[in-house]
Amino acid sequence: MRADEAVPLGRTGLRVTRLGLGLASLGGLFAPVSDRDAALTVDRAWDVGVRLFDTAPVYGYGRSERRAGAALAGRPAGQYTLCTKVGRLIVPGGTDTQPFWADPPPGVGPRRDYSYAGVMRSVEDSLERLGLDRIDVLHVHDPDEDFPAAVSDAYRALAELRARGAVGAVSIGVNHAPVAARYLREVAAPGPDCVMLAGRYNLLDRSGLDELLPLCAARGGVAVMVAGVYQSGLLADPRPGMPHGYSTVPEALAGRVAAWHALCRDHGVPPTAAAVQFPFGHAAVTSVVVGARTPDEVEDTARMLAHPVPPAFWAAARAAGLLPPGVPVPAS
């Protein structure tokens, strides 16, 4: 599989590359990133064929969107797919802050707002930061933060924007698969066109398969973009002190991480290659979105996506009990 392979985004008229670049890191997730390095990272993604980019207002409190807009400026809008999100406004003195953004812009912060008016304002603000007049994919970000408003007012705003062509596709961006499944069941028809699922369909956590992925397939082609395939970095580098988001890795999880790394060593498969390719075993998954803060990280991910992973590897994972029998795996 190649990073530049383009496929339809479900039932929408959009096309997306198999590999997407998540831009949270370029907003300063865990560590600061310079404007220059942010631009070089997007440039390298473009060079390896990535044409799917995902950002959000809350990523660095507007910084990620501004950097995305600057890095993509001058490139024809029809040649890439840009996603951003609603649910938080970036305002002076906003108090819904998050501790993991390094060196955020002074004096501003997020404020949760899933109201119709709040969503419309969020879109206007995002367009200004991005320097664009249209958003390709608009996610309702973390709808569980205010589910009643997110499934009614926020969706009504997004559906109107989609109907008049200001938004190409309506989506939700979630960290919990049951939340996404509930949203799809309860929202007014025709509902979202796609779902971004973070951290819940990978080698270590397959809870997305319990209900959400089958539901998306049954709903007439609701496309799924999968993020968090490295489980906060545990599948890339599980050593203590590495930026994998865990202060202490639970013993059971650590055991499964070690088992995957051992299996990969036995078969000569890099763990990141297995991790970035695994979600494509399910037909509803169109893309995997991986964050990066340097050009080398982008290039490495593209290389891992193309790295051969033989059928014997997936068979060995089943035999070792790391993958249950019903979990689909990528075709060779």
- Which residues are marked as active site? 54, 59, 85
Quote the CA–CA distance of 97 and 112 in Å, as a whole number: 10
Task: Give the position of tokens 């996603």.
Answer: 83
Tokens in use for 317? 């994972």
**Which residue is associated with the tokens 């390896």?**
48
CA distance 69 to 127: 9
Which runs of E-coded beta strand occur in the chain?
A: 6-8, 15-17, 19-22, 52-54, 81-86, 88-92, 108-112, 135-141, 167-174, 194-198, 223-227, 285-291
Query: Do 44 and 37 meet the contact criterion of CB atoms below 8 Å apart?
Result: no
- HSE-up of 278 (CA within 13 Å, CB side)? 31
- Is the backbone peptide bond immediately before 143 cis, with ω within 30 degrees of 0? no
d(CA 324, CA 303): 27
The residues with which 81 forms a beta bridge, in sequence order, are: 52
